[in-house]
Amino acid sequence: MSTDRTVAGSPRPLLELRGVTKVYGQGRAAFPALRGIDVTVQEGEFVAIMGPSGSGKSTVMNILGCLDTPTTGSYLFRNTRVELLSRRQRALLRRHYLGFVFQGFNLLARTSAIENVELPLLYRGEPFRQRRSSARAALASVGLDAWETHAPAELSGGQQQRVAIARAIVTHPALLLADEPTGNLDSQRGREIMELLAALSREQGITVLLVTHESEMARYAKRVIHFVDGFVDSDHRNGGSA
């Protein structure tokens, strides 16, 4: 994976979508979910992706998360053409460079918080002592160092999402993809999660891409991209709190 720098020490974009289209189905049943998308995201940015249902935002997230590939166009991750990678290579990219946070917390019910956070490291074959230390550090970074032995049922919704975030960042991903991470939380817990994501971007340099339909949550991002009918309708900076 290329990590070359541009002139004057500026980092290359973390990811680029160039003329990306995505068509589902064939013939009369064909549905163009994306109609030629051009998006560039720099290292360390906190970007919110918004749009109505069917606008293409979930399709974009699937492509960025290496869960799908474009019909045409290119997806570059640190200057690597992702659409040209094999399925196994895309899986390795996900495992080593990407973290995921979903609306549903997706925690193992009978497993402690620290064991849930360890899972990505277990899949990578890291030894117990190393992954336990990394999981403890990740839980501490989301304010849950005193809750590591608790099962999900013993945690509030906000705490469960914090565990899910710790699990996503324990591998030190370059890119954190958060799909409606506050959808199952009340307003106060939702704001706490957004403040945490903003802090991770600001303090650890993690690039965060957030899909949300809530304007209140999107304001935490430094940049907001609106999708409409498979096109980028607008792409602008905002104040954010990151």
Q: Is residue 2 scored above 50 in pLDDT?
A: no
- pLDDT the model gives residue 242: 44
Contact 97, 3 (CB under 8 A): no
Helix (H) or strand (E) holding 76, with range, is: strand 72-77
Is the pLDDT reported for residue 3 higher than 70?
A: no
Longest Cα separation, the chain: 57
42 DSSP β-pair partners: 13
Q: What is the pLDDT of residues 26-43, one digit of tens each?
A: 998 999 999 999 999 999
- In sequence order, the β-bridge partners of residue 20 are 37
- Strand partners of residue 175: 98, 207
Q: What is the mean pLDDT of residues 152-164?
A: 96
Give mean pLDDT, residues 59-76.
96
Strands 207-211, 175-179: parallel, antiparallel or unpaired by DSSP? parallel
**Fold topology of 7-237:** Rossmann fold (3.40.50)
**pLDDT tens digits, 222-234:** 999 999 999 999 9
Write out pLDDT tens, residues 114-155.
999 999 999 889 999 999 999 999 999 999 999 999 999 999
Q: What CA–CA distance (Å, rounded) separates 86 from 217?
A: 35
Q: What is the pLDDT of residue 35?
A: 97
Domain residue spans in the chain? 7-237
Mean pLDDT of the residues in the chain:
92
Amino acid at 68: D
